Amino acid sequence: MDQPAQCASKPFLSREAAGLLLGFVGVVVFGGTLPATRVALGLFSPWFITYGRAAVASAAAALVLLALRRPFPRQDATSLLLAGALLVFGFPILSSIALQTVPAAHGGVVLGILPLATSIFAALLGGERPSPLFWICGVVGAALVIGFALYDSELSFSSGDSFLLLAALAASLGYVVSGKVARTMPGWEVICWALILTSPASAVGAILTFDSGYLQASPEQAFAFFYLALGSMFLGFFAWNVGLAMGGIARVSQVQLLQTFVTLALAALFLGERITLETLVFAGAVVLVVALGRRARISR
């Protein structure tokens, strides 16, 4: 009698596996950020994209928090404000400026350093201690995606690349800060409060950078803007923050190595960029690195 009961209560996925799955869902949503930004930049300025999408996301966050009557987490206010500054403003404006001069696919490849940067910040600030094998996987994975950029396009680092690197640093630190808070607070609530705390600046910035010409946006440009606001800035973080908390910041961050290739696929589909055999080979190599990273020991 006890054995069937134990089997019935056994979860379908382990906590780590569920965290990795949720992290991957977030990565897929985030993978569309750069292609959507390129489309939005056809009309909107980088500054309005940053403030406007944050203002829309803040309104959605306020509705959710009010509907569920969530109390304000005073003890985490500082961390939430820091996460908001990095993820709501830092990454969006830096990446938007960069994408004025570089293609979305190239941007996705350069941002392949995100998992390694996130792991470094996790080790320093998140109380996680990745094993040497884990660090090797992170370095090899980052080298693969950066090497892909150099091999595929023979590109040298430009001002756009510099802004992308700064965007990667802002995002990785923001992921660690928000992921740490998500260990004691639901992940969806983390991004909601981060948006609320930064909403005064978002609202003022959106008003100051608005142009009447934006009302003439094409359906594609309008969709791209609202995708950035409600997808990249809001819903994607629900899955991502919970995944980080459940599976461990350093381990789940490895899944983000795949974001480069999600971005490439979406750039090919919506922006007309083509995917070569070399792209698929590099993608397979990165998947292998992620698999090895999953097996690496991490103490928390």
Put simply, whether the predicted model's pTM sits higher than 0.85 gets the answer no
Which pLDDT tens digit goes with each residue over 234-243? Answer: 988 888 877 8
Average pLDDT over residues 28-50: 96
Q: SS3 for 130?
A: strand
Q: How far apart are CA 96 and CA 225, in angstroms?
A: 12
Residues 6+ apart with CB under 8 A from 252: 19, 20, 23, 243, 244, 246
Average pLDDT over residues 136-140: 84
Diameter of the chain by CA atoms?
A: 70
Backbone angles phi, psi at 102, to 5 degrees: -125, 150
pLDDT at 204: 98
Kindly state the tokens that stand for 180.
């740490």
Measure Cα distances from 254 to 1, 35, 38, 123 in Å: 41, 22, 25, 14
Which pLDDT tens digit goes with each residue over 62-75? Answer: 999 999 999 999 99
Which pLDDT tens digit goes with each residue over 45-60? Answer: 999 999 999 999 999 9
Percentage above 70 pLDDT, the chain: 90
CA angle 36, 40, 45 (to 5 degrees): 135
Which pLDDT tens digit goes with each residue over 166-183? Answer: 999 999 899 888 888 878
pLDDT at 241: 76
**Buried (b) or exposed (e) across 46-77, using 16+ Cβ within 10 A?**
bbbbbbbbbbbbbbbbeebbeeeeeeeeeebe
